[in-house]
Amino acid sequence: MSPIDQAARTAHAGQELLQASGDVIARRLEIVADALRDPLKADLREMSLMGSEKVEALTASAAAGLNGAMSMAATTAAAAARETAAAQGALNAVLTARNPAEAALAQGSWVTAAMGRAVNNSWAFGATMLKLQADALAPIHAAAVANAKRLKR
């Protein structure tokens, strides 16, 4: 999936989450109000879910966030390793140049290639960030949307 598609899908999920959250909060406030009016008829099952579902969804979201952070670290480490190797190669080319013009050409080639790699690295890092965002939102979105459907009157 392209980064643009990923961002659009995540934005849509965020909108669905906001709508579902509002619906769930409104319905659950009614359930709590009903319980306060008549505690013997309280929907204890639904009231117990109010906390446990949040913990479950947030735990899954945190796990996705941790996995995403590890992926970002790996992406960054790979970029750093590539840049280190490229810099070492460029330094070697400059040091072994036969004349100043050849050294300047080697340095210029490294700079030009480094700019291209910087763009590629930033796209890879951005794509990793978008995936982290989508993965971290998914369990919270799924729980809220499922609750909204279940609680709909």
pLDDT for 49-104, tens place per residue? 988 999 999 999 999 999 999 989 998 999 999 999 999 999 999 999 999 999 99
Q: How high is the pLDDT of residue 2? A: 84
Quote the crossing angle between the two packed helices 44-95 and 3-37, to the nearest 10°.
160
Predicted confidence at residue 67, as pLDDT, reads 94
Going by C-alpha positions, the residue among 21, 91, 93, 14 that lies closest to residue 54 is 21
Task: Give, for 128, the enclosing helix (H) or strand (E).
Answer: helix 100-151
User: In which band, very low, low, confident or very high, does the pLDDT at 124 lie, cut at 50, 70 and 90?
Assistant: confident
Query: CA-to-CA distance for 53 and 112, rounded, in angstroms?
Result: 52
Range 116-134 average pLDDT: 91
C-alpha–C-alpha distance, residues 126 and 150, integer Å: 36
| Mean predicted confidence (pLDDT) in 137-146 | 96
Q: Is the pTM of this model over 0.95?
A: no
Number of domains in the chain: 1
* Whole-number pLDDT of residue 93: 96
The two structure tokens encoding residue 94? 């400059």
Alpha carbon of 152 to those of 27, 64, 82, 139: distances in Å?
8, 29, 53, 20
Give me the domain span that covers residue 51.
3-151
